[in-house]
Structure 1
């Protein structure tokens, strides 16, 4: 089991790597680089870059024990055919109507080079904040027999939390790794983490990366 709040994960004590996936949300250049979408919106991307080493350690540890790694990327089609009038308006309002940001096929859409994407990893491309909306994410999880999700990535208060809530409503067992998630708004980051644990874990449980890594080491020894 993994030590977590408000209870250890998973609740039944059965951490099955074959039924577990590490979800790496939107660790893309558009959010992490100093010239990408996030910075152009006026946010400091350094808190997002700061979690890169932690996320990389978690990815390596999950690969070792046989936990599936799933990456998500957010961005519209290159021709913007999937962008609604409201979304176009918000883009123009932010001064990004002519910018090559959050568009598939552009450099900013790609996962940051510090993140090691293995050939067997799964990548889910999404338009919305939540990875379940208008994607085959749920179908992939069900097809792989995955029932337990470990959440990392950015941003804590938007794409991570939206996907987490969607997952909980679909009865996936969820653990959010607090220091492997980040936001450009520290208050929103802390509030999003706090919301995980309210009502005795309404959105699953919260753990630090060290506790997750310790649990995976124990799992490796048990399987040896």
Structure 2
């Protein structure tokens, strides 16, 4: 069990690491670097980079317990063939037309070098806010027998929350680790975290890295 709100996770008390996936969403250079996409949009990437040590601690604990570690990367083809007209319009409006940000061919697309990534981890590349849309994420989860998901990464209010909501709709049991997620604005992060546990956990539960690490340490493989 993991101490969480509004109830301990999972609700039935049966935490099985081999059936649990740790999602590490979009901790890429483009989001966390002062020269990346997020900074180009006018946001401070420092809060995003600041969660990496806590995320790494959870990754280590989850890997040791026997959980599946899944990293996601947001980005588009170099020829923009998979970028919708609306996304192209937003890109131009933001002054990012003819730049390399959020392109899979650019260095910014890569995961942060300080992030704990092992050869056994799964990497899912996506073009949408949800890690499920146009990817094989659900197929991987079902193939690996995953029933429970732990969420970390950025941003809390966009890609983390969108993936979380879709996971809940697909009947995965979900827990979001609040200090392992971040947004460009603190109020957006807090709002996203707060709405998870409304209506007795409509989008699952919320916990902290310390509580998750403690819970995983007690769980057997």
| TM-score normalised by structure 2 residue count | 0.98
Match of 2:109 in 1: 109
Match of 2:191 in 1: 191
Match of 1:167 in 2: 167
Match of 1:79 in 2: 79
Match of 1:138 in 2: 138
> What is the root-mean-square deviation in Å for CA atoms of aligned residues?
0.8
Matched, 1:125 2:125: yes
d(CA) in 1 for partners of 2:159, 2:16: 26
d(CA) in 2 for partners of 1:46, 1:18: 33
Match of 1:97 in 2: 97
Gaps of 5+ in 2: none
- 1:6 is displaced (CA, Å) by 0.4
d(CA) in 1 for partners of 2:149, 2:155: 17
Gaps of 5+ in 1: none
Q: Runs of 4+ in structure 1 displaced over 2 angstroms?
A: none
Match of 2:47 in 1: 47
d(CA) in 2 for partners of 1:121, 1:105: 21
- 1:78 is displaced (CA, Å) by 1.4
Aligned partner of residue 200 in structure 1, secondary structure: helix
d(CA) in 2 for partners of 1:59, 1:191: 25
- 1:105 is displaced (CA, Å) by 2.2
- 1:79 is displaced (CA, Å) by 1.2
Aligned partner of residue 27 in structure 1, secondary structure: coil
| TM-score normalised by structure 1 residue count | 0.97
